[in-house]
Structure 1
Amino acid sequence: MSLLMGGATMTDSDSGQVVLVIGGTGFLGRRVVSALTGAGHRVRSLVREPARAAGLFDDRVEIAQGDMLDADAVAGAVRQARAVIVCVHTLSAQPARKAGHDFVDVEVAGVGNIVAACRANGVDRLLYVTSIGVAADASSSWTRGRARIESLLFASGLDVTVLRPGMIVGHGGSGFGMVERGARSRAAVLLSSRHQRFRTVAVDDLAHQLVVLLDEPRSFGRHFDVGSDDVLTIDEMMDLAAEHLGRRRPTKIHLPRRAIACIAPLVERAAKMPPGAISGFVGAGSDSDMIGDATAIRALLDQPPRTFGEAMAQALREGSAAAASS
Structure 2
Amino acid sequence: MSTILVTGGTGTLGRLVVERLRGAGHRVRVLSRSARDYPVDLIEGTGLDAAMAGADVVVHCASTPKGGDDKAAAHLIEAARTAGVRHLVYISIVGVDEVPLPYYRVKYRVERMIEESGLGWTVLRTTQFHDLVLGYFRAMAKLPVLLVPAGVADQPIDVQEVADRLAELAAAPPAGRVADMGGPETLGMTDLARVYLKAAGRRRPVLPVRLPGKTFAAYRRGGHLTPAHAVGRGTFTEFLERQGVRA
1: CA distance, partners of 2:228 / 2:163: 16
The RMSD of aligned alpha carbons is 2.8
CA contact (8 A) 1:108 1:149 kept: yes
Aligned counterpart, 1:168: 129
Task: Provide the C-alpha distance between the structure 1 equivalents of 2:146 and 2:238, rounded to a whole number of angstroms.
Answer: 25
Amino acid at match of 1:203: V
Aligned to 1:270: none
Structure 1 gap segments, 5+ residues each: 1-15, 51-61, 93-102, 259-282, 299-303
1:83 and 1:123 in contact (8 A); partners too: yes
User: Residue 230 of structure 1: SS of its match in structure 2?
Assistant: coil
Q: For 1:1-326, what aligned pairs fall within 5 Å after superposition? A: 17-50=2-35, 63-92=37-66, 103=67, 106-135=68-97, 138-170=99-131, 173=132, 175-182=133-140, 187=144, 189-190=146-147, 193-217=149-173, 220-245=175-200, 247-252=201-206, 284-286=214-216, 288=219, 289=222, 290-293=224-227, 295=229, 305-314=233-242, 316-317=243-244
Evaluate the alpha carbon distance shift between residue 72 and residue 145 of structure 1 in structure 2; reply closer, same or farther with a 3 A threshold.
closer
Q: Give CA-to-partner distance per residue, 1:237-263, whole Å, 9 cap, x none.
A: 221122234x245223567756xxxxx
Return 5+ residue gaps in structure 2 as ranges: none
TM-score relative to the length of structure 2 = 0.84
Q: CA deviation at 1:111?
A: 0.5
Find the counterpart in structure 2 of residue 263 from structure 1. none
Alpha-carbon distance, 1:125 to partner:
1.0
Distance 2:44 2:101 in 1: 29
User: d(CA) in 2 for partners of 1:305 and 1:63?
Assistant: 36
What's the secondary structure of 1:44's corresponding residue? strand
Amino acid in structure 2 at the alignment position of 1:204: Q
Amino-acid identity (%) = 28
Q: CA deviation at 1:82?
A: 1.6
Matched AA of 1:202: D
Equivalent pair of 1:189/1:255 in contact (CA under 8 Å): no
Normalising by the residue count of structure 1, what TM-score does the alignment of the two structures yield?
0.65
